[in-house]
Amino acid sequence: MRLRLPEERPTEPPTGYKIAHPVLSQDGTRAGFTGVSLGGALPYGVLADASCVYGLRHAAPHRRCDCGFHCVHDRATAEALLCTAEHRTAVLLDVLVLGRYLRFELGFRYARQRVRTATVGPCACGTVAAALADAGWGRPGWRGLEPSCAGCLRGRTAVSLAGFARLAGEGLRVVAGTGAASAPDLPEGLGVPELVAEAALLQARLDWFQSQLARLGKRGAGDGG
pTM listed for this prediction: 0.76
Q: How do residues 180-190 score in pLDDT, each as one tens digit?
A: 544 445 444 44
Q: What are phi and psi of 173, to 5 degrees?
A: -105, 130
Average pLDDT over residues 114-125: 96
Q: How do residues 33-49 score in pLDDT, each as one tens digit?
A: 999 987 778 899 999 99
Report how far residue 113's alpha carbon sits from residue 97's, in angstroms, rounded to the nearest whole number: 5
What residues pair up with 101 in beta bridges, in sequence order?
Answer: 110
Please check the confidence at residue 65 and state whether its pLDDT lies above 70. yes
**Contact 70/78 with Cβ under 8 angstroms?**
no
Which pLDDT does position 189 carry in this prediction? 45
Average confidence score pLDDT of the chain: 86
Report how far residue 35's alpha carbon sits from residue 19's, in angstroms, rounded to the nearest whole number: 7
Please check the confidence at residue 117 and state whether its pLDDT lies above 80. yes
Percent of the chain residues topping a pLDDT of 70? 84
Please check the confidence at residue 76 and state whether its pLDDT lies above 90. yes
**Higher local confidence (pLDDT), 79 or 220:** 79
Phi-psi region of 55 (alpha: psi -120 to 50; beta: other; left: phi over 0): left
Vertex 168: Cα angle to 166 and 171 (nearest 5):
70
- Among residues 120, 126, 188, 113, the alpha carbon closest in space to that of 152 is found at 126
